[in-house]
């Protein structure tokens, strides 16, 4: 049996799988590539090599993002940007973010193999910190590129933003020879960027349920994140009477159920979801009544109004529980992202590209998941392409895609570039 070369889609899937194991994941083999961590650094080196093989020049910007550039027919031409993120959530899947970068490399490799060039450059950005899985905020490096990092006032906030080991952003950057102020120089000039395109797994069940490989994104849901700190009174589990307790964990437990109730019972708020993803009691040992709890809140909806109504109801419920249980409640806002529409002209081009490849009119859908594209839309017109993923599972090692769908993705992005050049 003569073995054949892998298709671009098969190669892309194999590369995502390769990037899912040590040294690209953490020392336990768990896929967890936090920005500036060892797994992230190894990943950047591997992806940079694949960019070079695809005929791109490669650099890392002052926010440790990886950027490959495929020149156009004239030097220093403005660029059509492709991108997604190289980081992952803890114990995540192998395709979230990464597939968008690796598939774009296959698109450029195809142009390079045939010497095809355009009146613009093509760049691919592998963002370092989309998930916000290491530090309490998200998309720091995307904000640096889009020129909106000031929102987090890097010189002040970066000392306060610490990871689970107490390392703050400033220290993590210093470990790479970078600085908060230096990060600001990663910003791109508006005139150098023509548009931003992000291919990403759907992370939902729609495309699979409708038997479609690809979908075009019309917009991305509004999102807010908070850190909630509760302070009660630690005590001896054996001697502190129940009637005297100010147990921060029982208060937090009531609050978590209130979050679930508000989001589940809200009427007419399509796409409203609310999640407590992380909860840490202190001191977290068997024979101490927890005096402190820190937990996170993530609320999303199709519109800011629906999102904010739910946030208000949740905060009111939390305040009532804290008062009844004599617990101090501290609410720290960590993220506030408006619902972000995709650019209608680019949407039309992407729909045509998908129709060319699949022979079907494109399925248009909203993204409940957040993406770098939300921030990049502040710099340039953006559009997203969704790829079917098995059972819609994501942020889970069971995340899976079909190589044939990735071939369609690469073909659709290739068609998009040609349509973009012609328009």
* Residue with smaller CB distance to ligand HGY, 351 or 399: 399
Query: Is 352 among the residues that bind Mn ion (CB under 5 A)?
Result: no
- Residue 225, number of CB atoms within 10 A of its CB: 22
Site residues for Mn ion, window 125-144 (CB under 5 A)?
130
Nearer to ligand HGY, 87 or 407 (CB): 87
What tokens appear for 183 in the block? 């990060």
CA distance 164 to 135: 8
| 371 belongs to the binding site for Mn ion (CB under 5 A) | yes
Distances (CA, A) of 386 to 37, 135, 175, 399, 416: 28, 27, 35, 14, 14
Please identify the residue of the shown chain whose CB is closest to the bound Mn ion.
Answer: 371
Q: How far is the CB of 30 from ligand HGY (least distance, A)?
A: 17
298 is in an annotated binding site: no
395 marked as part of a ligand binding site? yes
Any binding-site annotation on 85? yes
Place of tokens 């694949």: 50
Q: Is 300 known as a binding-site position?
A: yes
Token pair belonging to 357: 């490849």
Taking the least distance from each CB to ligand HGY, the nearer of 139 and 216 is 139
CB of 395 to ligand HGY, least distance (A): 7
- Least CB distance to ligand HGY at residue 275 (A): 9
Query: In angstroms, rounded to a whole number, what is the distance separating the alpha carbons of residues 117 and 112?
Result: 8
Q: Is the dihedral of CA 103, 105, 111, 114 positive or negative?
A: negative
Of residues 71 and 399, the one with the C-beta less far from Mn ion: 399
Binding to Mn ion (CB under 5 A) within 66-85 occurs at: 85
26 vs 131 by CB, closer to ligand HGY: 131
> Token pair for residue 23?
């040294």
**Positions that interact with ligand HGY (CB under 6 A):** 130-131, 369-370
Residue closer to Mn ion, measured from CB, 85 or 225: 85
Q: Among 372, 399, 405, 407, indicate the residue that binds Mn ion (CB under 5 A).
A: 372
Binding-site member from 97, 132, 154, 204 for Mn ion (CB under 5 A): 97
> From the CB of 370, what's the least distance to ligand HGY, in Å?
4
Ligand-binding annotation for 225, yes or no, is yes
Task: Tell me whether residue 130 or residue 405 sits nearer to ligand HGY (CB atom).
Answer: 130
Q: Rule CB under 5 A: say whether 96 interacts with Mn ion.
A: yes
Q: What is the CA radius of gyration of the chain?
A: 23
370 binds, among Mn ion, ligand HGY, none (CB under 5 to 8 A by kind): ligand HGY
**What distance in Å separates the CA atoms of residue 104 and residue 113, rounded to the nearest whole number?**
14
Q: Residues marked as binding?
A: 85, 96, 131, 200, 225, 287, 300, 395
Residues that bind Mn ion (CB under 5 A): 85, 96-97, 130, 371-372
Q: Residues marked as binding for allantoate?
A: 225, 287, 300
Q: Residues marked as binding for Zn(2+)?
A: 85, 96, 131, 200, 395
């Amino acid at each position: 049996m003569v073995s054949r070369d892998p298709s671009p889609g098969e190669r892309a899937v194999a590369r995502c799988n390769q990037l899912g194991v040590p040294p690209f994941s953490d020392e336990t083999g768990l896929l967890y590539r936090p920005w500036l961590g060892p797994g992230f650094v190894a990943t950047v080196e591997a992806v940079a090599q694949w960019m070079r093989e695809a005929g791109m020049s490669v650099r890392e910007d002052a926010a440790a993002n990886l950027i490959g550039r495929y020149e156009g027919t004239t030097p220093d031409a403005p660029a059509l940007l492709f991108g997604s993120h190289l980081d992952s959530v803890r114990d995540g899947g192998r395709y979230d973010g990464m597939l968008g970068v690796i598939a774009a490399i296959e698109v450029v490799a195809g142009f390079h193999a045939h010497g095809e060039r355009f009146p613009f450059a093509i760049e691919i950005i592998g963002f370092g910190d989309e998930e916000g899985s290491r530090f309490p905020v998200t998309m720091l490096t995307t904000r640096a590129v889009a020129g909106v990092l000031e929102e987090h006032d890097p010189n002040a906030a970066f000392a306060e933003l610490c990871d689970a080991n107490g390392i703050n952003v400033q220290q993590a950057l210093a470990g790479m020879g970078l600085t908060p102020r230096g990060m600001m120089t990663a910003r791109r000039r508006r005139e150098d960027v023509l548009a931003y395109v992000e291919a990403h797994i759907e992370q939902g069940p729609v495309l699979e349920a409708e038997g479609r490989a690809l979908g075009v994104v019309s917009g991305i849901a509004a999102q807010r994140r908070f850190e909630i700190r509760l302070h009660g009174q630690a005590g001896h589990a054996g001697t502190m009477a129940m009637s005297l307790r100010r147990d921060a964990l029982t208060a937090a437990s009531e609050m978590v159920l209130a979050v679930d109730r508000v989001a589940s019972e809200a009427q007419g708020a399509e796409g409203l979801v609310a999640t407590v993803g992380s909860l840490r009691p202190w001191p977290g040992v068997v024979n101490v009544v927890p005096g402190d709890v820190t937990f996170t809140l993530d609320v999303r909806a199709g519109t800011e109004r629906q999102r904010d109504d739910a946030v208000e109801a949740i905060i009111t419920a939390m305040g009532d529980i804290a008062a009844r249980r004599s617990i101090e409640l501290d609410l720290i806002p960590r993220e506030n992202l408006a619902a972000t529409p995709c650019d209608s002209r680019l949407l039309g081009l992407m729909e045509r590209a998908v129709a060319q490849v699949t022979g079907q009119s494109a399925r248009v859908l909203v993204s409940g998941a957040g993406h770098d594209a939300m921030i990049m839309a502040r710099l340039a017109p953006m559009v997203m392409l969704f790829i079917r993923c098995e059972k819609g599972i994501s942020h889970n090692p069971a995340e899976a895609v079909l190589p044939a769908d990735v071939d369609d993705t690469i073909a659709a992005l290739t068609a998009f570039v040609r349509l973009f050049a012609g328009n």
